[in-house]
Structure 1
Amino acid sequence: MDDRSVFSEVEALRADKTRAVLSPESLEVHVRVVDHLAHTTGANYVSDEILDTLVHGRVSTIAAIELTLAGWWRRLDGGYVIVDQELIDALSHTPTRRRFGAACRRLWRFLNSESVIPL
Structure 2
Amino acid sequence: MKKVVFQPKVRYKLHPGYLAWILHRATGVLLGLYLFLHIWVIHHLSQGEKAFNEVMAVVQSPLFHLLEIGLLATVVYHGLNGLRVVFMDYGNLAKRDIMQKAVFAVFAVSAILILAGAIPMLRLAFGI
Same fold (TM over 0.5): no
Higher relative contact order (CA 8 A, sep 6+): 2
TM-score, normalised by the number of residues in structure 2: 0.29
TM-score, normalised by the number of residues in structure 1: 0.31
Mark the structure with the bigger radius of gyration.
2
Whichever structure has more helix as a proportion of its residues is: 2
